[in-house]
A and B are shown apart, each in its own frame.
Chain A
Amino acid sequence: MSAPKETEQHGETRRDFMAILAGAFGAIGGAFAVWPMINSLNPAKDTLALSTIEVDLSQIQKGQSKTVMWQGKPVFIRHRTEEEITEAREVDVQSLTDKQSDEDRVQKPEWLVAVGVCTHLGCIPQGQKQTDNHGDYDGWFCPCHGSHYDTSGRIRKGPAPKNLAVPPYEFLNDTTIKIG
């Protein structure tokens, strides 16, 4: 009489186990099915292939700036004057919002390369043209919410929390840099 009962109990556990296993398979399968769709939203291969650019610096005079597009964003390249370099280097780093020395931000003192996107909410700061508003620190001024950047692209006044980002770049020779 006890035999059928045992079988039934055995059956119970086996079914529970099977049900859990089936649930696990369903969940894993679902996750693997969803991943390609999510991943398709990441940058595609052609987008990634365009993630480096080369810029010729020979045409940029001292005191002038050039804006180039890199990864869909403007990059500011400024050929700095001696005064601008001195100005950037005399600041007490400890007094800054985002503590960074000018030496850490440039590879060659006369060339500043920075992503021209305000670190507050993503506007493009003014200051690339001679006639632009350069802000209180002779660098760039973001008209959206009044952030002032200095000649090293560092935040000095206003709501932005960080200095203008420095993209990865290298000098291929004296007059050419590769960004990215």
Chain B
Amino acid sequence: MGSGPREEFDNPVVEWIDSRMPIFTMLQKEYGVFPTPKNFNWFWNFGAIAMFMLMTMIVTGIFLAMHYTANTELAFDSVERITRDVNGGWLLRNIHMNGASFFFIAVYIHIFRGMYYGSYKRPRELLWILGVVIFLLMMATAFIGYVLPWGQMSLWGATVITNLFSAIPFVGEDIRTLLWGGFAVDNPTLTRFFALHYLLPFVIFAVVFLHVWALHVTGSNNPLGIDVKGPQDTLPFNPYYTMKDIFGLILFIIVYAFFVFYAPDSLGHPDNYTPANPLVTPPHIVPEWYFLPFYAILRAITFNFNIYMLAGVALLAVFMVEFIWRHSPKYLGKSAGIALLVIGGALALFGLLAGFNQHWTIPFTDMPIPLTSAETSPISAKLGGVLAMFGSIGLLVILPWLDNHPIRSARFRPLFRIFVIVFTFSVFVLGYAGSQPADRVYWSTCIGDAQACEVLAHGAGHGAAAHHEADAGAEPLVLKFDNTMLAQAFTGVYFLFFLIILPLLSRFEKGRELPTSIHEAVLAKKQKAGA
């Protein structure tokens, strides 16, 4: 935004302003002639779409705030008044509540594009991190916003999420009380949430500004992931990408408008049309769809992390850093590496199994294995779930260092491509798992005495005679696959992808030969299409 040499504008008003504050020169430089790689595909539309959604949310939100009352006695009624009595209020509300979903859709596609084409890599690490910050702020804003209508899901969603903070050791309970401003989610909570819901979008806007600023320093990545070598590789942003962005945006709005006008409540939960009742919890609490994968990760951690597991994981982490991530070990020899791997793996596995099998004893004695019980585990299941959930997003922050492979785009990394697709799939599965009741059983079988199995399947009430016989027989073995196990499996995939696969691929994947320049690649593609 410099005060460098400046070209004069023909329009006297523009020129008068620009000579005093070169805002038009800046716009011309950053959006008019800004050199942009000429080979963008449609994935590159979603940044502009996300920006449009942010503005839509802010503008409709301001008008909704003019009619909303942040008081537990009045909030639900004021929202109903908006949809029933305020002129066009139903439209504003539908735009806003579906807008949250479509903002997340745009941002998720934007994040996927960044991962697939390696947009997070050098020199764009800070750009990426600012993006993760925006994502976190969006999640906070969306969560708080869902509380405002003060329906059943508002209240109980807020209760569950704020209770997460109580998992923090020592100060957790105090933090929770501080968040609530009372002893439950109540009027003080609602009032402060409203204040924050109004504030945070502007914070997001400020970080978006930084995000775009960082983008305009490094320039955009592109589907080939190779650097721009000169003017033949780029196009001026206007008109090429302005026109393309507008066209893509309108297509996006068509889908969005369809939901706003024809299925406005399909993305929400019916329970939120029942006013909040602090005495009754709905049978199944689910967050909004865009939080489901993270909710599944939160619920997947049903076990405590005992000291053996943590020690094992720490040893494995040392191995990963020293032997994989660093490319050539700096401090340790080969045998030390093998020892780390074996001991670390064995400890972690032992800790996990011992945690599940509390009846295990030290061989040849009756003594239980020390430091495996819930009380002696440094990280309880509750805290573990919270850490895993925040960790799953935190991994995005360090992604540029987990994957330091020199090639950016998945197009030239066949293995990375497969794994990034598997990863995306696992996020979808986690989303599904998050939406289902934790105890839902997908598959189960019973091995052993048929009658005993019958009793297990239908409960003891099914024939007292069968019950007695079953007691005498051997305990049958029940194998089942339930929703918690599904979530655990794919939580494993999620973390493995970041912590094991990406460092390994960075080290060992060879990758395909890169084109010499964007220009030549585009030409070659054209010739191929022409022939």
A168 contacts the other chain (CB 8 A): no
A42 contacts the other chain (CB 8 A): yes
Contact with A along B77-105 (1 / 0, CB 8 A): 00001001111110110000000000000
B321 contacts the other chain (CB 8 A): no
B529 contacts the other chain (CB 8 A): no
Is the beta-carbon distance between A40 and B89 smaller than 8 angstroms? yes
Is the beta-carbon distance between B87 and A42 smaller than 8 angstroms? yes
Is the beta-carbon distance between B87 and A40 smaller than 8 angstroms? yes
Bound-state CA distance A42–B88 (Å) is 10
Contact with B along A38-78 (1 / 0, CB 8 A): 01111011110000000000000000000000000000000
Q: Which label, helix, strand, loop or mixed, suits the secondary structure of the B interface? A: helix
- The residues in A between 105 and 162 inclusive whose CB is less than 8 angstroms from any CB of B are none
Q: Which residue of chain B has the shortest Cβ distance to A39 in the bound complex?
A: B87
A37 contacts the other chain (CB 8 A): yes
Bound-state CA distance A26–B242 (Å) is 13
Is the beta-carbon distance between B81 and A44 smaller than 8 angstroms? yes
Do A44 and B86 contact each other (CB < 8 Å), given the known contacts A37-B60, A37-B63?
A: yes
B66 contacts the other chain (CB 8 A): yes
Shortest Cβ distance from residue A3 to the other chain B in the assembled complex, whole angstroms? 21
Is the beta-carbon distance between B92 and A36 smaller than 8 angstroms? yes
Bound-state CA distance A40–B89 (Å) is 6
- Among A37, A39, A41, A45, the most chain B Cβ lie within 10 Å of the Cβ of A37
- Chain A residues positioned under 8 Å from B92 (CB to CB): 36-37, 40
- Chain A residues positioned under 8 Å from B91 (CB to CB): 36
How many interface residues does chain A have, given as a range? Answer: 10 to 19
Contact of B66 among A36, A39, A41, A46 (CB under 8 A): A41
Contact of A46 among B59, B63, B81, B246 (CB under 8 A): B81
- Chain A residues positioned under 8 Å from B510 (CB to CB): none
- Among A39, A40, A46, the most chain B Cβ lie within 10 Å of the Cβ of A40
B67 contacts the other chain (CB 8 A): yes
Contact of B88 among A26, A39, A47 (CB under 8 A): A39
Bound-state CA distance A56–B461 (Å) is 71
Contact with A along B53-83 (1 / 0, CB 8 A): 0000001100100110000000000000100
Is the beta-carbon distance between B66 and A45 smaller than 8 angstroms? no
- Chain B residues positioned under 8 Å from A40 (CB to CB): 63, 66-67, 86-89, 92
Is the beta-carbon distance between A36 and B88 smaller than 8 angstroms? yes
- Chain A residues positioned under 8 Å from B85 (CB to CB): 44-47
Contact with A along B233-249 (1 / 0, CB 8 A): 00000000000001000
Given A22-B246, A39-B88, 15 more A-B residue pairs with CB atoms under 8 Å apart are: A35-B88, A36-B87, A36-B88, A36-B91, A37-B59, A37-B60, A39-B87, A40-B63, A40-B67, A40-B88, A40-B89, A44-B67, A44-B85, A44-B87, A45-B86
Residues of chain B touching chain A, judged by Cβ–Cβ distance below 8 Å, are 59-60, 63, 66-67, 81, 84-89, 91-92, 246
Q: List 12 A-B contacts (CB under 8 A).
A: A22-B246, A35-B88, A36-B87, A37-B59, A37-B60, A37-B92, A42-B87, A44-B67, A44-B87, A44-B89, A45-B86, A46-B85
Residues of chain A touching chain B, judged by Cβ–Cβ distance below 8 Å, are 22, 26, 35-37, 39-42, 44-47
Closest 9 CB pairs of A and B: A36-B88, A45-B85, A44-B85, A46-B85, A44-B86, A39-B87, A37-B63, A36-B91, A40-B88
